[in-house]
Amino acid sequence: MVEEKYDVIIVGGGIAGSTAALFLAKKGFKVAVVERVNRNNLGWKPCGDAIGEHYFEELGLEPPRGEELEYIVSGIDIYSPTEKHVIRVKGKGYMVNTPAFVKRIMSTAISHGATLLDETIVLAPIIEDGYVVGVKARGKNGQLELRAKTVIEASGNAAVVRRKLPKDWPVAEEADPTEFNIAYREIRITEQEVRDPEYIRIYINQTIAPGGYWWLFPKGERKINVGLGVMGGAGYPSPKEIFYRYLANREDVKGEIIHAAGAPVPTRRPINSLVWNGIAVIGDAGYTVNPIHGGGKGSSMLAAYCVAEAFEKAYERNDFSAKSLWPANKCYIEKYGAKQASLDILRLFLQRMSNDEFEFIISKKLVSGDDLYTISSEARVTSRIVLRILRALVAGISRPGLLAKLKKVSDYMEEIRKYYMSYPETPEGLDGWLSGLREIYSRFNREVLG
Ligand SMILES: Cc1cc2nc3c(=O)[nH]c(=O)nc-3n(C[C@H](O)[C@H](O)[C@H](O)COP(=O)(O)OP(=O)(O)OC[C@H]3O[C@@H](n4cnc5c(N)ncnc54)[C@H](O)[C@@H]3O)c2cc1C
């Protein structure tokens, strides 16, 4: 048994873990990333490969470049179920070659002093006196015990550390199966030239992607990332089966398969707490994903940033308790979590809407591209949208029930966003705050979904 000591051990070298390693190594900490795959195979977890430009600006990270960058896009086209109506949402983003992108972040972290222990599987956390103090792992040369002041859980859906924490720690919260989208995607070289390649495409269709959507993201003139996500825990067929039933042979999809794989994505509000004694969770393991579009790369980078900042302050105090690491929660909620929770309310409503209702909203232009940009960047249903809905109600444009519900959803989104902004300052306040949160969700369920 080899025993080693670090400031921080990061479990998993995906986008969340490698970004955390980069931030921490730049601050001069002794960091080890423990990753089960070989270093040459980092980043192969299936993804739509789209990421907004603004994350790089906000975090001061170098945007994708060279072989990492496959295409620069100018926005998103959102299609109604009949595909006759489209809303264009403008906003610059990148289509990345995810493995190359993750490898570059990891190699930059290594150049700042981080250690990558690849082909090493983390088996369980080591917990002593109520603190996570390290992990047990199996590496190339046998069993390891790695010890650190704090462990960052970034093993994605495996959540190998989080699942083995005491169940009464808020950082160990288990999501409900319905709070995941089960996604499948293929990267293809298409027979046809990709139409309008500077806009990624999202198709809303509850038959093809119940409780989710299907997408076609251009990666070049003849290269696409195409896939779909369906709501988990609801008994729907597998997304791969649906893909081959409805999408694989579309004229704009037909072509040679370069890579095919699927995975679940958490699409819900933030975890109850990102931190506890000696532990932080980020990325898919910590549900830091956008509940509406399932994008998790940018937000996992934000969570990595917040945890690294909180660790630095905790290190100065030589105190790695939940209380000392707590500012990570406040940071993440301010940067993203409050918006994530607000979008979770919208997600719960949208997942229950019918194709007819989506067609109605998009065809009547009840929301514009600018509105959707505001909803997705600020999680706020602006007064402009509410006004439009109210006007439509007054003008007697059919479906008053749906329009009235939309107004209620926008009120709840605002309520939950504000509630998250009152997230407790210390762990002691969490239980009371969580019971308030449960009350809002159950009222929303009763009044809007019920
Ligand atoms: C089909 C699909 C499409 C998506 N599209 C997009 C998109 O277009 N844009 C976007 O932003 N997001 C998208 N997402 C979400 C995004 O991919 C994830 O949110 C993001 O990759 C999460 O990164 P992560 O680092 O938390 O987890 P992961 O990328 O899963 O990384 C976890 C790492 O931990 C390692 N690991 C696991 N278990 C162990 C263990 N026991 N010991 C050691 N290491 C371990 C794994 O090998 C892996 O390297 C999509 C997801 C799916 C499934």
Average pLDDT over residues 184-199: 96
Residue 385 confidence (pLDDT) above 90:
no
Residue 165 confidence (pLDDT) above 70:
yes
Do 259 and 321 lie in one domain? The reply is no
The confidence band for 396, taking pLDDT boundaries of 50, 70 and 90, is low
Average pLDDT over residues 136-143: 93
Question: To test ligand 1's pocket by mutation, which of 37, 297, 336, 340 has the most ligand atoms within 8 angstroms of CB?
Answer: 297
Spatial neighbors of 382 by CB under 8 A, at least 6 apart, are 371, 374
Residue 201 domain-assigned (yes or no): yes
Q: Residue 407's pLDDT is what? A: 84
Distance between CA atoms of residues 193 and 200, nearest Å: 14
Distance between CA atoms of residues 15 and 301, nearest Å: 7
Q: Tell me, yes or no, if the pTM score tops 0.85.
A: yes
Do 16 and 83 lie in one domain? The reply is no
Residue 334 domain-assigned (yes or no): no
Q: In Å, what is the CA distance from 373 to each residue of 101, 337, 343, 351?
A: 26, 17, 13, 20
Q: How many residues does the chain have?
A: 450
Do 183 and 300 lie in one domain? The reply is no
Contact call for residues 218 and 71 (beta carbons, < 8 A): yes
Q: Give the alpha-carbon dihedral of 49, 231, 382, 60, to 10 degrees.
A: -30
Residue 387 confidence (pLDDT) above 90:
no
Cβ–ligand 1 distance for 135 under 6 Å, the answer no
Contact call for residues 283 and 296 (beta carbons, < 8 A): yes
- For the record, the structure tokens of 391 come out as 């006007």
- Pick the residue whose CA is nearest to atom 21 on ligand 1: 297
Cβ–ligand 1 distance for 16 under 6 Å, the answer yes
Do 350 and 420 lie in one domain? The reply is yes
Q: Residue 132's pLDDT is what? A: 98
Do 113 and 17 lie in one domain? The reply is yes
Residue 65 domain-assigned (yes or no): no
The confidence band for 185, taking pLDDT boundaries of 50, 70 and 90, is very high
- Pick the residue whose CA is nearest to atom 5 on ligand 1: 48
Question: To test ligand 1's pocket by mutation, which of 265, 288, 302 has the most ligand atoms within 8 angstroms of CB?
Answer: 265
Residue 64 domain-assigned (yes or no): no
Q: Residue 2's pLDDT is what? A: 58
Contact call for residues 415 and 440 (beta carbons, < 8 A): yes
Question: To test ligand 1's pocket by mutation, which of 15, 38, 41, 47 has the most ligand atoms within 8 angstroms of CB?
Answer: 47
Average pLDDT over residues 135-159: 96
Distance 30 CA to ligand 1 centre (A): 24
Residue 337 domain-assigned (yes or no): no
Question: To test ligand 1's pocket by mutation, which of 271, 284, 292 has the most ligand atoms within 8 angstroms of CB?
Answer: 284
Residue 137 domain-assigned (yes or no): yes
Give the residue from 264, 288, 305 where a domain finishes.
264
Residue 4 confidence (pLDDT) above 80:
no
The confidence band for 410, taking pLDDT boundaries of 50, 70 and 90, is confident
Distance 15 CA to ligand 1 centre (A): 7
The confidence band for 141, taking pLDDT boundaries of 50, 70 and 90, is confident
Do 386 and 444 lie in one domain? The reply is yes
**Would you call 297 helix, strand, or coil by DSSP?**
helix
Average pLDDT over residues 180-200: 96
Residue 50 confidence (pLDDT) above 90:
yes
CATH number at residue 192: 3.30.9.10
Return the amino acid letter for 1.
M
Do 111 and 217 lie in one domain? The reply is no
DSSP character string of 115-163: EEE-S-EEEEEEEETTEEEEEEEEETTEEEEEEEEEEEE--GGG-TTGG
- Pick the residue whose CA is nearest to atom 10 on ligand 1: 295
- Pick the residue whose CA is nearest to atom 51 on ligand 1: 47
Among residues 20, 58, 9, 33, which one has the least CA distance to residue 300? 20
Among 145-154, 176-185, 314-323, 372-381, the range scoring the smallest mean pLDDT is 372-381
Q: Residue 3's pLDDT is what? A: 63
Contact call for residues 278 and 150 (beta carbons, < 8 A): yes
Task: Give the range of the structural domain holding residue 302, as residue numbers without chain letter.
Answer: 2-49+100-174+268-325
Do 28 and 141 lie in one domain? The reply is yes
In this prediction, what percent of the chain has a pLDDT beyond 70?
Answer: 95
Do 260 and 283 lie in one domain? The reply is no
Contact call for residues 181 and 287 (beta carbons, < 8 A): no
Cβ–ligand 1 distance for 51 under 6 Å, the answer yes
Residue 54 domain-assigned (yes or no): no
Residue 66 domain-assigned (yes or no): no
Distance 293 CA to ligand 1 centre (A): 15
Q: In Å, what is the CA distance from 50 to each residue of 93, 110, 369?
A: 7, 25, 18
Do 12 and 40 lie in one domain? The reply is yes
CATH number at residue 9: 3.50.50.60
Average pLDDT, the chain: 94
Total domain count for the chain? 3
Q: In Å, what is the CA distance from 429 to each residue of 270, 342, 422?
A: 17, 21, 10
Residue 162 confidence (pLDDT) above 90:
yes
Do 256 and 272 lie in one domain? The reply is no
Distance 46 CA to ligand 1 centre (A): 7
Distance between CA atoms of residues 238 and 229, nearest Å: 9
- Pick the residue whose CA is nearest to atom 31 on ligand 1: 14
Do 114 and 191 lie in one domain? The reply is no
Distance 437 CA to ligand 1 centre (A): 28
Average pLDDT over residues 149-168: 98
Q: Residue 381's pLDDT is what? A: 65
Q: Which residue has the higher pLDDT, 392 or 104?
A: 104
Residue 364 confidence (pLDDT) above 90:
no
DSSP character string of 366-431: SS-HHHHHHHHHH----HHHHHHHHHHHHTT-S-HHHHHHHHHHHHHHHHHHHHHHT--SSGGGHH
Q: Residue 393's pLDDT is what? A: 65
Among residues 106, 125, 150, which one has the least CA distance to residue 313? 150
Average pLDDT over residues 114-141: 97
